[in-house]
Amino acid sequence: MKKLVLVLLLFIASAGFGFAQKYAYVDTEYILGNIPSYKAAQDQLEKFSQQYQKELETLHAELDKMYKDFQSEVVLLSEDMKRRREDMIITKEKEYKKLQRQYFGAEGELFQKRQTLVKPIQDDVFKAIQDVAEQGAYSIIFDKAGGLSMIYTNPKYDLSDQILQKLGYKN
């Protein structure tokens, strides 16, 4: 809703400056989907994610087994043994959470790999959009894939294929 209000305000503001403003849109999902290196990067990230997830699932299964074993044997254990087993479970839980943050956290390994593999491609796309906008004297270029709701879009204003050409890809 905020984006729609912002778009409307931009249109209203630009109307006051004259009608010579040019608008267009692109679909970055479509553009990125037509770049082979982006697809390869996404596949690589998916493999890393699955590998990390499998490792976490294995660790979680160990933790779950430790907890179930503890529950079934708790009545047979001395207080000292209970505390040691509880400490072992807590230590394993901490290890699990630490590994989870290490792989999937805000600055985790998957994020770092995404920055290395995908961000340069996204930067190239942004630069190509910027170049096309400057060459075509466009005031605003919207991203149709960015969650911006467009009720109707005229395909003649879609610059997505032009961006792909600028990046050296044919469609």
Statement: the pTM of the whole predicted model exceeds 0.75: no
Position 6 scores a pLDDT of: 47
Quote the mean pLDDT of the chain.
85
Long-range contacts of 128-137 (CB under 8 A, 24+ apart): 128/163, 128/166, 128/167, 129/26, 129/159, 129/163, 131/166, 132/159, 132/162, 132/163, 132/166, 133/24, 136/22, 136/24, 137/22
> 158 and 27 in contact (C-beta within 8 Å)?
yes
Q: In this predicted structure, what is the pLDDT of residue 21?
A: 73
Asked whether residue 1 carries a pLDDT value surpassing 60, the answer given is no
**Residue 125 CB coordination number (10 Å):** 20
pLDDT the model gives residue 150: 60
- The answer to whether the CB of 164 falls within 8 A of the CB of 170 is yes
pLDDT band (50, 70, 90) for residue 19: low
Residues 3-15 have a mean pLDDT of 51
Predicted confidence (pLDDT) per residue in 32-72, tens digit:
999 999 999 999 999 999 999 999 999 999 999 999 999 99
Model confidence band, residue 116 (pLDDT cutoffs 50, 70, 90): very high
Residues 109-130 have a mean pLDDT of: 93
User: What is the three-class DSSP state of 146?
Assistant: helix
